[in-house]
Amino acid sequence: MSRASARSPIGVFDSGVGGLTVVRALMERLPFEDIIYFGDTARVPYGIKSVDTIHSFTTQITDYLLARDVKLLIIACNTMAAVAGDAVRERSGVPVLDVIDAGARAAVAMSGKGIGVIGTPTTINSNAYARHIHQLDPSVHVYSQACPLFVPLVEEGWLDHPVTRLTAQEYLKPVFVESIDTLVLGCTHYPLLKHLLRDVAGPNIRLVDSAITVAEQTAGVLTEMGMHNPQRGEPNYEYLVTDIPLRFQSIGSRFLGRELRQLSMVSLG
């Protein structure tokens, strides 16, 4: 049983740094909630690993955060949500939200005819978005496209660079052939490319940023459960990583939109 109370923190996890875009959205939407972020930076990226490996890494992180008595868990990594979302829900006594479910719901609510989904190869090949969208609305047309270079481009900081623009045009070319009106950014790195993608996609396609939609969902669940933090002071943010690689502080700050403090290293397994 969970010993979590309304004063407990929200747990957010990702394979690396990308989930910090979700933390950022949570800070803006729920400014009084404490947050523990877990990034498995020693083993990132998950997107190129096998299903078994992703499964085992994900349950290790889940158990770690449950032991810290989080009141709600957010899987802020599309790869982990796609591959191991059910396993996380099975072992957690607290609500579990994830970026795929949040993105799929928002897209279905917004779209009139067709939804495009972009993400890492593993997320796209898992077909998790299309499956999820079709559960919500079997009639909607879904077109998915893997964009493996977007993550390294974001980490390089080329957020508005001719190379990134050319890459986006190349990846999105087949998406635009399909008649879609909504494009889901199916990777937590992609919100940093939102400006450029909006430009490349043009005015007739609406973008779904799952960092923002999962923060919105979280607010709803906390209200339903009566679990908003009653304290109105400065919230506590804690960042746990399994490795502190080169440039992590500066890349992390770019994702978070503010300075990354209280960073600690932990080891798993």
Interaction site with its own copies (CB under 8 A): 41-44, 48-50, 53, 121-122, 125, 148-149, 151-153, 155-156, 158, 162-163, 166-167, 170, 243-247
Single-letter amino acid, residue 81 = A
Find the catalytic residue in 77, 147, 168, 240: 77
Looking at the Cβ atoms of 121 and 230, the one nearer to its own copies is 121
CA-derived radius of gyration, the chain: 18
Q: Is 77 a catalytic residue?
A: yes
**H or E segment at 56?**
helix 51-66
Single-letter amino acid, residue 263 = L
Of residues 64, 106, 83, 117, the one with CA closest to residue 215: 106
Find the catalytic residue in 35, 94, 151, 187: 187
Looking at the Cβ atoms of 158 and 176, the one nearer to its own copies is 158
Looking at the Cβ atoms of 143 and 171, the one nearer to its own copies is 171
Q: Report the distance separating Cα 34 and Cα 48, nearest Å.
A: 32
Looking at the Cβ atoms of 33 and 155, the one nearer to its own copies is 155
Q: What is the smallest separation between the CB atom of 173 and its own copies, expressed in angstroms?
A: 13
Q: What is the smallest separation between the CB atom of 165 and its own copies, expressed in angstroms?
A: 10
Q: Is 147 a catalytic residue?
A: no
Of residues 80, 78, 126, 135, the one with CA closest to residue 105: 135
Q: What is the smallest separation between the CB atom of 154 and its own copies, expressed in angstroms?
A: 11
Find how far residue 95's CA is from the centre of its chain.
16
Q: What is the smallest separation between the CB atom of 52 and its own copies, expressed in angstroms?
A: 9
Q: Report the distance separating Cα 164 and Cα 193, nearest Å.
A: 9
List residues with catalytic annotation.
Answer: 77, 187
